[in-house]
Chain A
Amino acid sequence: MGDVILTMKGIDKSFPGVHALDHVDLEIRKGEVLALMGENGAGKSTLMKILTGVYSKDSGTITYEGKEVEFKNTREAQDAGVVIVHQELNMLGHLTVAQNLFIGREFKNGIKIDDKKMIEESKKLFDRLNVDIDPTEIMSNLTVGKQQMCEIAKAVSFDAKVIVFDEPSAALTESEIEEMFKIIRDLKKKDIAMVYISHRMDEIKVITDRVTVMRDGTYVGTLITKDCTKEDIINMMVGRVIYEDPKTESAVAKDAPVVLKVENLNAGKMVQNVSFELRKGEILGFSGLMGAGRTETARALFGADPKESGDIYINGQKVDIKSPRDAVKAGIGYLSEDRKRFGIVVQKTVAENTTMATMHEFMNGLFINKKKEKEVAQQHVDALATKTPGVDQLVVNLSGGNQQKVVIAKWLTRNSDILIFDEPTRGIDVGAKNEIYKLMNKLAAEGKSIIMISSEMTEILRMSDRIVVMCEGKKTGEIDISEATQENIMNLATREIN
């Protein structure tokens, strides 16, 4: 491991009402990948934003290459060689790849922007990183993976000495992550220091050298990656031991009635001849890599996207689901992976969100019965242990986990017997995850049937009674939990199909 290139000492930062960082220390060395871990809200992103000049610190010092520095904006940080690859892709979708790479520092020929030179330089950059991207392509036409490569290429092109990756893999497929790791290893050889923020333990194990853990805005400690276990890290993150054992046996009786039967569902390339059954009280895991067609299957089943063919039976009765409205009537509730877009109305209260799908039950003639609405919402807040000051609270002020509970409450008021959870714990921190898991188990025990789409292997193995695996739009297998292992699931998820 190389010399220390950057030290942050006693960094303190407060936002109105929140003490986001409390005297945090961090040390980064040349040619290493340092994992920065912590629950959501632990202060990782804030710390990195202070480092790269997005925010200013209240107190503390940053020493970079032996000198104390304070970057006033991202530009200054970039010029000094400290760059961040942001969590949300910071792409200008309407512009070309080359225009994106050199945004803010265009080559000029008089007053004219020298697009030709920008394209040439982009080509050189991509060659160096061994990625195949056409610099003249419009950015929004690229896959998310390629866009991420562009972000990294951009970071590298600043002659960066320190690169911060803020959850770079969140939207990437396995092969894209592999490709990114190749680039990261390459950069390591060039003595570039990197900070890698991620929630994915397996990645941390593979790519990082040391792990620094933060909790509630404080520095907890630093470990050497190869000398520590996942449990060590998780314990430091949450300050408590977390139960993460896989389920070993299905909790559903063999003769439990089939509540949902899907036969030969077809909807475009992503859903080809998908058939499966869901039993009462069962949690059916849907596993697969990104782009396997799991969400698409759920959306076709739910009537959110048109289906080409296929039969759906609920409690043995054939149903014709043409729209989400039909699906809801048939007793299906869908909890989207993208809560903010499809799940909740953030600027509305907990009560209003809870009754969103069942408005008609809360009407007094033309008027909404606010009192009843609040009562019912309060019942759900109590039953689900949603942490909110009250049902009048705007949903935007709740944490991710509690927002998810509001969505669950919405479907419970609707008496949906079949619940589709699409990535139920995405963007939810470890502690709140456990609560969501408990809640799902409770719902299943009460006789609700759950389809759980998840990209997290641990989540699949921990929650499912049975697992359907998909790959490239086709169902490639079905495994009972008693036989499921990471290996056989992965095998099905990556199987070549002729």
Chain B
Amino acid sequence: MANKKSLLKGREAMVVGIIIAMVAVFSILSPTFRTYTTFVSILDCSYYVALMAIGVTFPLITGGVDLSIGTGLICYALFGGYLIVHKGMPVGIALVACVIVGTLIGLLNGFLVAVMDLPPFLATLCTCMINRGLGSLLSGGFGVSWPSALEPAGWFRSIFRFKAGGQVIPVGIALIVVLVIIMSFVLNHTKIGRYTFAIGSNKEATKLAGVNVKFYHIAAYTICGFFAGLAAIAYSATYVTIYPGSGAGFEMDAIAGAIVGGVSASGGIGSIIGAFLGVIVISLMKVGLPFIGLQANWQQIITGLVLIGAILIDVVKKKK
């Protein structure tokens, strides 16, 4: 865990292999797959999922989960859009607002799980519903559009998609990579990370070691909420309009990605790099499968199957 023997360990190396294999298969079966546009669109739909996945890795490693991030993302993006469109606030404020609201909802999740002792699945299912309702309420049921890239106020879009001479440069990936590195450090080399693993490994024992378990348990969910806020920004920057009522199921892409990347759903095991790579696998399927003639329904089925495979690897490993 903390002793990195190589940059990528077994599981992560395996996921890299899967990514290479998928790219190869798609490229061979569909020549149109090998284009810059495809590359950009894979990244475009990876940003918000990757940010959610980085965040949700923390609750997952504690042995919990956060189901509220999907509808949360939409709710925060709607709130931000509302501030800009209806209150005339500058974009910068809206961005900060997304992150603050996300963090607060994360804090609420952490409180429900760590202090009130609700099962994470149920606690975050409740906040998931609250998020959805709040989102609709704020937007009056209508979609909200953040400023477009053509307006000066649309500057925030170039954080992820920098336009130079009609060509989109996906600079967002650099931001994501930086965040992956920072959060890997947090997870592996700081107290917050160490105790996240410890709680997922044996919460009672961690408590007996004199660790303020409640604090660190809340911290894990708060980090998750913070990243859901960042994901809201990424989503607003990549897509034109945010519709209330969407967002349900987004969290599943993030959780699936994390699990494909080796984060254990029963806690104690996982890495940020793994979660990130797992998200790339999910995005590749989302964008790539239509190229070989498999539509959305198939993509869901295949994602499900891949997930079963990923979980089976863990189960078999445990049995040994």
Binding site for B on A (CB under 8 A): 54, 73-75, 78, 86, 90-96, 99, 103-106, 108, 111-113, 115, 136, 138
Contact call B190/A93, Cβ cutoff below 8 A: no
Q: Which 7 A-B pairs have the closest CB atoms?
A: A75-B210, A94-B268, A90-B205, A104-B209, A92-B201, A94-B201, A103-B209
* Chain B residues near A104 (CB-CB < 8 A): 206, 209-211
* Chain B residues near A74 (CB-CB < 8 A): 208-210
Stretch from B32-40, B191-199, B217-225 at the A interface: B191-199
Which of A86, A90, A94, A115 has its CB near the most chain B CB atoms (within 10 A)?
A: A94
Contact call B189/A113, Cβ cutoff below 8 A: yes
Q: Sample 6 A-B pairs with CB under 8 A, ordered by A number.
A: A54-B208, A92-B197, A92-B205, A94-B200, A95-B198, A113-B2
A113-B190, A113-B194 known; A94 and B210 CB under 8 Å?
A: no
For the complex, what is the distance from the CA of A77 to the CA of B11, rounded to whole Å? 41
For the complex, what is the distance from the CA of A108 to the CA of B208, rounded to whole Å? 21
Tell me, rounded to whole Å, the shortest Cβ–Cβ distance linking B64 to chain A. Answer: 15
A106-B191, A113-B190 known; A90 and B208 CB under 8 Å?
A: yes
For the complex, what is the distance from the CA of A283 to the CA of B166, rounded to whole Å? 87
A92-B201, A93-B202, A106-B191 given; 12 more Cβ-contact pairs under 8 Å: A90-B204, A90-B209, A91-B202, A95-B1, A95-B197, A96-B1, A103-B198, A103-B211, A104-B210, A112-B190, A113-B189, A113-B194
* Chain A residues near B237 (CB-CB < 8 A): none
Tell me, rounded to whole Å, the shortest Cβ–Cβ distance linking B193 to chain A. Answer: 8
* Chain A residues near B209 (CB-CB < 8 A): 74, 90, 103-104
For the complex, what is the distance from the CA of A94 to the CA of B197, rounded to whole Å? 8
For the complex, what is the distance from the CA of A115 to the CA of B206, rounded to whole Å? 18
Count of chain B residues with a beta carbon within 8 Å of a chain A beta carbon: 22
* Chain A residues near B204 (CB-CB < 8 A): 90
For the complex, what is the distance from the CA of A381 to the CA of B198, rounded to whole Å? 43
* Chain B residues near A73 (CB-CB < 8 A): 210
A92-B198, A93-B268, A96-B1 known; A111 and B190 CB under 8 Å?
A: yes
Tell yes or no: B269 within 8 A of A by CB.
yes
* Chain B residues near A92 (CB-CB < 8 A): 197-198, 201-202, 205-206, 268
* Chain B residues near A136 (CB-CB < 8 A): 3
* Chain A residues near B194 (CB-CB < 8 A): 95, 99, 103, 106, 113
Tell me, rounded to whole Å, the shortest Cβ–Cβ distance linking B272 to chain A. Answer: 16
Main secondary structure of the interface of B (DSSP, over half): helix
Select from chain B the residue with minimum beta-carbon distance to A86.
B208
For the complex, what is the distance from the CA of A162 to the CA of B194, rounded to whole Å? 28
Contact call A103/B206, Cβ cutoff below 8 A: yes
Select from chain B the residue with minimum beta-carbon distance to A53.
B210
For the complex, what is the distance from the CA of A92 to the CA of B195, rounded to whole Å? 10
Select from chain A the residue with minimum beta-carbon distance to B211.
A104
Tell me, rounded to whole Å, the shortest Cβ–Cβ distance linking B213 to chain A. Answer: 10
For the complex, what is the distance from the CA of A104 to the CA of B269, rounded to whole Å? 19
For the complex, what is the distance from the CA of A74 to the CA of B202, rounded to whole Å? 16
Tell me, rounded to whole Å, the shortest Cβ–Cβ distance linking B253 to chain A. Answer: 26
For the complex, what is the distance from the CA of A96 to the CA of B201, rounded to whole Å? 11
For the complex, what is the distance from the CA of A136 to the CA of B5, rounded to whole Å? 11
For the complex, what is the distance from the CA of A108 to the CA of B189, rounded to whole Å? 9
Give per-residue flags for B67-97: 1 if the beta carbon is below 8 A from chain A beta carbons, else 0. 0000000000000000000000000000000
For the complex, what is the distance from the CA of A106 to the CA of B193, rounded to whole Å? 12
For the complex, what is the distance from the CA of A91 to the CA of B3, rounded to whole Å? 19
For the complex, what is the distance from the CA of A91 to the CA of B202, rounded to whole Å? 7
Select from chain B the residue with minimum beta-carbon distance to A54.
B208
Select from chain B the residue with minimum beta-carbon distance to A76.
B210
Tell me, rounded to whole Å, the shortest Cβ–Cβ distance linking B12 to chain A. Answer: 17
For the complex, what is the distance from the CA of A474 to the CA of B310, rounded to whole Å? 39
Contact call B201/A95, Cβ cutoff below 8 A: yes
Tell me, rounded to whole Å, the shortest Cβ–Cβ distance linking A55 to chain B. Answer: 12
Which of A54, A91, A99 has its CB near the most chain B CB atoms (within 10 A)?
A: A99
A103-B209, A103-B211, A115-B2 known; A94 and B189 CB under 8 Å?
A: no
For the complex, what is the distance from the CA of A151 to the CA of B32, rounded to whole Å? 60
For the complex, what is the distance from the CA of A172 to the CA of B207, rounded to whole Å? 25
Which of A95, A112, A115 has its CB near the most chain B CB atoms (within 10 A)?
A: A95
For the complex, what is the distance from the CA of A96 to the CA of B268, rounded to whole Å? 12
For the complex, what is the distance from the CA of A106 to the CA of B198, rounded to whole Å? 13
* Chain B residues near A95 (CB-CB < 8 A): 1, 194, 197-198, 201
Tell me, rounded to whole Å, the shortest Cβ–Cβ distance linking B150 to chain A. Answer: 42
* Chain B residues near A105 (CB-CB < 8 A): 210
* Chain A residues near B211 (CB-CB < 8 A): 103-104
A112-B190, A113-B191 known; A90 and B202 CB under 8 Å?
A: yes
Tell me, rounded to whole Å, the shortest Cβ–Cβ distance linking B185 to chain A. Answer: 8
Tell me, rounded to whole Å, the shortest Cβ–Cβ distance linking A115 to chain B. Answer: 5
A90-B209, A93-B202 known; A115 and B268 CB under 8 Å?
A: no
For the complex, what is the distance from the CA of A75 to the CA of B207, rounded to whole Å? 9
Tell me, rounded to whole Å, the shortest Cβ–Cβ distance linking A107 to chain B. Answer: 11
Question: A94's contact among B3, B185, B269, by CB below 8 Å, is which?
Answer: B269
For the complex, what is the distance from the CA of A106 to the CA of B206, rounded to whole Å? 13
Contact call A112/B189, Cβ cutoff below 8 A: yes
For the complex, what is the distance from the CA of A90 to the CA of B194, rounded to whole Å? 16
Which of A96, A104, A105, A108 has its CB near the most chain B CB atoms (within 10 A)?
A: A104
Tell me, rounded to whole Å, the shortest Cβ–Cβ distance linking A108 to chain B. Answer: 8
Which of A96, A103, A136 has its CB near the most chain B CB atoms (within 10 A)?
A: A103
Tell me, rounded to whole Å, the shortest Cβ–Cβ distance linking B136 to chain A. Answer: 40
* Chain B residues near A103 (CB-CB < 8 A): 194, 198, 205-206, 209, 211
* Chain A residues near B191 (CB-CB < 8 A): 106, 108, 113
Select from chain B the residue with minimum beta-carbon distance to A154.
B209
